[in-house]
Homo-oligomer: A and B are copies of this chain.
């Protein structure tokens, strides 16, 4: 493919809460819910080693990876490598996490649907043991 822009698509934005994210994760909001858009959208940047807690979405979420390489894992399944240009359509009420890898950062746009006023239910942390297991399985 031909040469394209060489700077990040969006600014990093603001650091996300350690209550729900491990490591350095940032959100740059793109669009808020309104009368037409029954979702919000934002650019989420995960520095090396950063990831969400395990969580669910009551009406699903779409991830569009815009930079780097990381993981998407549903509970009880093998983690998937996700990289720039990949799209993940996350079903409702599926326990999962996403984030960077132990050696690469990852940025995705997240389009998160609302079910009434709820977008996400946060669960337990993705432990270092769980994260290392996923990373070590790649080597």
Contact = CB atoms under 8 A, between A and B. Distances in A.
A36 B113 contact: yes
Q: How many copies of this chain sit in the oligomeric assembly?
A: 2
Q: Is the interface of A mostly helix, strand, loop or mixed?
A: loop
Contacts of A111: 37, 41, 111
A133 B109 CA distance: 35
A72 interface: no
Contacts of A2: 7-8
A59 B34 CA distance: 11
Contacts of A62: 30-31, 37, 41
A3 interface: yes
Contact of A67 (B4, B39, B92): B4
Contacts of A6: 3-6
Interface of A: 1-11, 30-31, 34, 36-39, 41, 59-60, 62, 64, 66-67, 84-85, 87, 89, 91-92, 109, 111, 113
